């Protein structure tokens, strides 16, 4: 018999849990309906709508003012100046690196040209040797 009692208690506990969640769901549904009704009422009221619009406009104006102040601040100006200097330094360093590397690039390209010419001469000689050594065709014998 104790097993039957435990089983009954478990079912009762489960039913209470289900009922509690059902109540929570009903509460959320009711809350949603109340919010929808309040929003409809608010939107239909011209005075409230104007107050909301004023609030949104004030928020946007505050954000714009803060953004403008941030871009015009001494810190922002200093950062722009430093970035400009850094860009000029990078440009100057790049130009100097090109000037320094240019003689080495020219020398390397000349050497490459010499090596390519040697390769071309060797290939042309091999091609000429192949033509001179070619066996006679069947019609020339």
pLDDT in tens, 71-98: 888 888 888 899 999 999 999 998 998 8
pLDDT over 70 at 138, yes or no = no
Domain ranges of the chain: 2-72
What pTM was estimated for this model as a whole? Answer: 0.37
pLDDT over 90 at 110, yes or no = yes
Handedness of CA 16, 18, 23, 24 (dihedral sign): positive
């Amino acid at each position: 018999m104790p097993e039957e009692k435990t089983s009954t208690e478990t079912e009762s506990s489960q039913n209470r849990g289900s009922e509690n969640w059902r109540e929570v769901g009903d509460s959320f549904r009711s809350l949603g309906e109340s919010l929808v009704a309040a929003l409809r009422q608010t939107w239909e009221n011209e005075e409230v709508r104007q107050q909301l619009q004023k609030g949104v406009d004030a928020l946007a104006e505050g954000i714009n003012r803060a953004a403008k102040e941030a871009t015009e601040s001494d810190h922002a100006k200093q950062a722009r100046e430093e970035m400009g200097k850094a860009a000029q330094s990078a440009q100057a360093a790049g130009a100097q690196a090109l000037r320094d590397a240019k003689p080495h690039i020219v020398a390397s390209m000349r050497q490459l040209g010499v090596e390519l010419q040697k390769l071309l001469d060797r290939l042309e000689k091999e091609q000429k040797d192949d033509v001179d050594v070619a066996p006679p065709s069947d019609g020339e014998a």
